[in-house]
Structure 1
Amino acid sequence: MMIFKLFFALLFIFTFISDISYAYADTPTQQVRQTVDKVLDILRNKELKGPEKTKERRTVIRRAISERFDFEEMAKRSLALHWKKRTPEEKKEFVQLYADLLERSYIKRIESYTDEKILYLNEKINGEYAEVDTKIVTKRNVEIPIEYRLLKKNGKWEVYDVVIEGVSLVNNYRTQFNKIIRTDSYEELVRRMKNKQEEELFEEKAK
């Protein structure tokens, strides 16, 4: 239930227009907004609408999302102490599975977006790290606070965690992953992630 709630809120993170303009394109907030605009353009593109365009549309959305999310950093933080124990091959495989998990969940919800708004409230920068505080306002005037946590790499601000209503996406996954690894094994965690991936692929092909 918590994962569904997190992803439901994550849907809005890169989908709706801010009420505030920023003067410099290199600020964390402005770089996030650039991704917002890309996703909105994709969703509005008439040539990418319709069931027959699902695969093509989702491929383009995934590309836009990948430009802003640092999936390797998110995967490393979610796996925590278990990350160091992994071989280079295992790390590469895990990052791919982790990214696929987030992207598929995000895309399934983003395709049915409506006209909610996201308000950018505050931005804090501390060296290579930044936080952007936002608030989602739904049609029913329900407010959902969302905090982006970003890390600057090669001049680009990349999201490495999202805190939704006080709940960290990375911490939430870390708790789940750690429980599975300690109760069963790392191999069992990977098996479950692969099964989830196969289920999603099967659903997409069935459409």
Structure 2
Amino acid sequence: MLLCVPAPGWAAQTPTATVQATINDVLYLLTELKETSRAGQRQWEIEQVVRRAFHYQDMAERALGEAGAQATAADRRQFIRLFVQVLRDDLTDRLRDYSAAQVVYLAEREEADGVQVLIAPAGPAIDTRMAFHLIAQNGSWLVDDVSIDGTSIVASYHLQFSRILREGSFLDLMEYLKLKAPVA
């Protein structure tokens, strides 16, 4: 296995260094494990990066909204597991066309509830801005949201999930997530 292990002192990194390490890990895995036969390993490895670098449980709860309070503990655990896979695949899709050299770290600025790190990946077909919102937790920085060209992914997920729940059930939402992030 090719598990990316954080370097000693990772928890003491700056927010920008945390984002940079996370993006570099994902880009490395996308390059190193690009063969179709390694898709399952690639997904697993990138999921470990997401689990280490993202405050995914909080993100999942905010994306689910009030419906989470009505779900059973087992359903919430299953939802969070699937949410991590969707987040993994979205991150992979956003970064797939870039290399580490194409990602420019523009700014790091403090906000009332954390720190925002603004980056600009530039590829052959796409120029975009991504803002990573991080919070300090237990001596490390965790990504709490990502805005892509000004749109929060947590807010975007919340809109999608609310629509599915309004038109269907929690089971329908779970089926949607399973289809959105199939395991290779």
Is structure 2 residue 119 aligned with structure 1 residue 134? yes
> Larger C-alpha radius of gyration, 1 or 2?
1
Q: Distance in 2 between matches of 1:109 and 1:166?
A: 14
Give ranges in structure 1 of 5+ residues lacking alignment: 1-23
- The answer on whether the counterparts of 2:107 and 2:119 sit within 8 Å (CA) in structure 1 is yes
**Moved beyond 6 Å, runs of 4+:** none
Structure 1 residues 8-27: aligned runs within 5 Å: 26-27=13-14
1:144 is matched with which residue?
128
After superposition, give the CA deviation of every residue in 1:172-198 in whole Å (9 maximum; x if it has no partner): 11111111112222222123223444x
Higher mean C-alpha displacement, 113-122 vs 72-81: 113-122
2:176 is matched with which residue?
192
Q: Distance in 1 between matches of 2:31 and 2:175?
A: 37
Q: How far does residue 55 in structure 1 lie from its aligned partner after superposition?
A: 2.5
Q: Distance in 2 between matches of 1:35 and 1:78?
A: 22
Is structure 2 residue 154 aligned with structure 1 residue 154? no
Q: TM-score, normalised by structure 1?
A: 0.71
Q: How far does residue 90 in structure 1 lie from its aligned partner after superposition?
A: 1.8
Taking a change above 3 Å as real, the CA distance of residues 123 and 171 of structure 1, as seen in their structure-2 partners, is: same
Give ranges in structure 2 of 5+ residues lacking alignment: 1-10
- The answer on whether the counterparts of 2:26 and 2:92 sit within 8 Å (CA) in structure 1 is no
After superposition, give the CA deviation of every residue in 1:12-48 in whole Å (9 maximum; x if it has no partner): xxxxxxxxxxxx9521111111223333443454xx4
Percent identity, aligned pairs only, is: 28
- The answer on whether the counterparts of 1:42 and 1:57 sit within 8 Å (CA) in structure 2 is yes
2:37 is matched with which residue?
52
Q: How far does residue 109 in structure 1 lie from its aligned partner after superposition?
A: 6.3
Taking a change above 3 Å as real, the CA distance of residues 86 and 98 of structure 1, as seen in their structure-2 partners, is: same
